[in-house]
Structure 1
């Protein structure tokens, strides 16, 4: 199956293929493509639409199952729905169960990579993993820590919603500046799918803030133990200029896994898969085969 970039983006402007009840809300799932199963888990503050740029390169070769975790995208939730890291971990397990995936490649980006590892480390249904610019077992960077601490200040949510809706302000380093090598990529579809909901929808913004509030450093501190339970091949794919999860630390993470390798994506940052989709897709397909 072949998709154009426009067709791939349009998938996330329509209703999902199915909604999976995970106890607190419903996870949205879109399935597209032909071939081995690949499950995509996104991070914060985005949704499954962040993988739209990969789909044209992947769908002729693999079946892509793209989730919107509760509180994002097309998932079902309201202002009272609990949204937490632990809830997302349980949700990923539930999705694998409900989709009947028995031989799946797991792709996680940013906090989605951390969530995916906690959810499915040592699970016999996982064939291999691709972790894209994600949390590292050596701790949190100062930028990540500053963001978490800021989220707990009174009024942070309203400020965040206001700032991300303004083109110039969201480019500041303490907001989203540096998430792309080319900050213009914070506009366009990235703005449409991820920033405008935070700017215009109080329910979406509230869910995003509840997830930040739930963040506990133990999820990072436990990664070394989680890695000991992972015995499948792991492909780390990293933006060369990622300031949130530095590539130097990613090189060190290779040795914490039984069977791991690292591919560095030139001229890319935290969202390396959006900046250089062809290169990241090639790394994913190399892991599937």
Structure 2
């Protein structure tokens, strides 16, 4: 490759507006409440309320509502919303009648059981056997970490795109047109191979055949899109090679072999067809271009986490 990187814009110097992490408190509380589920008990007595377990008999001319004994949780909507609502406010021995679209149903409460939910304890959290979690506070921090990790991953994609644009625009390159044309042709060759494996000819594919595979409607649109994206890919490849000199990243034969094996398994094709679709030169080019993007994404992820630290460990 004759193209060269003359001066790389330091991605550490790209100004970014890092968003603040906002925990989903409702989701946190829902997961904390799940800790108590194994310790919930049921105690008899009282007037039925939403959430109580009601055992009752049903009498009706409708066979599906002729029951000697049936249980449901009042207000859950899991059995019949109308009958569940009817049971609320009733005590054992009481009978009420509801008119359903299908006909009348008489409901007699036989027993009411109250759901007793204990308070959260450190012992409940420790019973989860999660690494480093011994208390409720520790479990909450664990849940926060999961939320923060998901938010960091989402934010990193957006932030990395801004880093990429700034670095590509502000770095200095000497680009050879032949290298760009070769990158374009390699990508088109890859698309041709995939089309062949699906029994199609890339240059003759219809809009319907492109749909769901590549976001274009014709081969001409694909060429135009590839020419545009490969201009960035060429510069990303040069930057990826530059970063690799310092971070030790390298494209290896073992990595290429593993890629071919995975490709063949995914596309249900042979190793030879996989190699034809992705020659070593194309694989190497793409790996260095992807490495640059991974460097920027990892940097963005670190910035997000630094700005949004978790509470101190328990």
Q: TM-score, normalised by structure 1?
A: 0.24
> Which of the pair has the greater relative contact order for Cα pairs under 8 Å at 6+ separation?
2
Q: TM-score, normalised by structure 2?
A: 0.23
> Which has a greater percent of helix?
2
Task: Find the structure with the greater CA-based Rg.
Answer: 2
